[in-house]
Structure 1
Amino acid sequence: MATIIIDGEEQQVADGSPIMDACEDLGVPFACRAGMCGTCIITVQEGMENLEPKTPEEEDMGLADDQRLACQAIIKSGTVVATF
């Protein structure tokens, strides 16, 4: 199991799974859920290497190196610490 921590709150997720549901449980808002609106941008403080590479939708959005879309990110394993 992997761990996602958003603003100090922790949620367990299966290795290799999207973090969207866990982030929603931790208070991250979602609108389109398709990587188009940017509502769910999180800033990764630790564990970026534990996420799969950015999706084309994330690349198109022009996010900073430490930002991800919670609706698109997939955790490989380990722990990711982020803020919203």
Structure 2
Amino acid sequence: MAKLIFENNKEEVEIPDGSSIKDECEQAGIPFACSEGVCGSCIIEVVEGMENLSEPTQAEKDFLGDIQTERLACQCKIKNGNVKIKF
């Protein structure tokens, strides 16, 4: 099991490895628009655990450029471990 930690409201949820961050955010009441990696409405800041996320997709690289601490929630999944995000 992985753990997604929402820095903004201190909520923590345990989720199966490989879960979509977008899906978990939507279940927590955080709405997003396109879910295709082109609008940027789902940009999250990864506070901790970037190494526990899937590799950036081409859509993320095209939209964000050099990925440092930001990811598109609609494009990344938690491989395992803990990930703390801000939205």
Same fold (TM over 0.5): yes
Partner of 2:84: 81
List runs of 5+ in structure 2 lacking aligned partners. none
Deviation of 1:28 (Å): 2.7
CA RMSD of the aligned region, Å? 1.3
Matches within 5 A, 1:5-84: 5-6=5-6, 7=8, 8-63=10-65, 64-84=67-87
Checking the alignment, whether the CA contact within 8 Å between 2:64 and 2:71 is kept in structure 1 is: no
Is there any run of 5+ residues in structure 1 with no aligned partner, and where?
none
Question: Matched residue of 1:21: which SS?
Answer: helix
Greater share of strand: 1
- The alpha-carbon deviation at position 41 of structure 1 amounts to 0.4
TM-score for both structures, normalised by structure 1: 0.90
**Residues matched between the structures, number:** 84
Q: Which runs of 4+ in 1 moved over 6 A?
A: none
Give the Å deviation of 1:57: 0.6
Percent identity reads 51
TM-score normalised by structure 2 residue count:
0.87
